[in-house]
Amino acid sequence: MANIKVLVAKPGLDGHDRGAKVVARALRDAGFEVIYTGIRLTPEQIAEAALQDDVQVVALSLLSGAHNTLFPKVVELLKEKGLNDVLVIGGGVIPDADIPGLKAAGITEVFTPGTPTSKIVECINANVK
């Protein structure tokens, strides 16, 4: 499973990227090739980056509460670009009640605060196509 390429991305206006950066680094240390987009990207910019960089995984991080709007939008735009096999996962301050809806919208797994980074690695290894 070498050379899995992961795009760690922050949609929306939220600037809290401690988690995104820690996850990006942990994924890199776990042997993935990781691209971190930086903060304040539109869903369109994220989908375009996923296409350009030919990634297998998009990992979204959001702490502002806009996840119900922005996460599904990223999935939708990836599909529009024909990226149907890209694994999309997400994390942040996300109430449990929102998780089923996000999963139904195509977010394979949602990681909430306190998750060890090893769980994210496992999830990617188990689900990447």
Partner 1 sequence: MAFEEIKAGLEKYTADVEAKLVKNPERANLVPNRLYTPIDLGENFDYMTKLGFPGEYPYTRGVQPTMYRGRFWTMRMYAGFSTAEESNKRYRYLLANGGSGLSCAFDLPTQIGYDSTDPMAEGEVGKVGVAIDSLADMEILFDQISLDKVSTSMTINAPASVLLAMYIAVAEKQGVSADKLRGTIQNDILKEYAARGTYIFPPKPSMRLITNIFEYCSKNVPLWNTISISGYHIREAGSTASQEIAFTIADGIAYVEAAIKAGLDVDAFAGRLSFFWNAHNNVLEEVAKFRASRRVWSKVMKERFGAKKAKSMMLRVHTQTAGSMLTAQQPNNNIVRVALQTAAAVMGGTQSLHTNSKDEALALPTTESVTIALRTQQIVAYESGLADTVDPLGGSYYVEALTDKIEKEAWAYIEKIDEIGGAPEAIAKGYIQKEIQDSAYKWQMEIEKGDRIIVGVNKFTQEEEPPKNLLRVDGSVGKLQAEKIAALKARRDNAKVAETLAALEAGCADESVNLMPLILDAVRAYATEGEICGVMRKVFGEYQPHTTL
Count of residues engaged in binding partner 1, rule: CB under 8 A: 36
Burial of 44-54, coded b for 16+ CB within 10 Å and e otherwise, reads: eebbebbbeee
Residues 6 or more apart in contact with residue 19 via CB below 8 angstroms:
61, 63, 91, 92, 113
Tell me how far, at minimum, the Cβ of 106 lies from partner 1, in Å. 17
Q: Per CB under 8 A, which of residues 47..86 are in contact with partner 1?
A: 64-66, 68-70
When binding is defined by CB under 8 A, the residue of 22, 31, 54, 103 that contacts partner 1 is: 22
By CB under 8 A, residue 100 contacts partner 1:
no
Euclidean distance between CA atoms 59 and 120, whole angstroms: 9
By CB under 8 A, residue 107 contacts partner 1:
no
Residue type, 69: T
Residue type, 12: G
Tell me how far, at minimum, the Cβ of 129 lies from partner 1, in Å. 25
When binding is defined by CB under 8 A, the residue of 31, 38, 81, 84 that contacts partner 1 is: 38
Nearest C-alpha neighbor of 17 from the set 92, 67, 68: 92
Q: Contact positions toward partner 1, by CB under 8 A?
A: 12-18, 21-22, 24-26, 28, 34, 36-40, 42, 64-66, 68-70, 93, 95-97, 112-114, 116-118
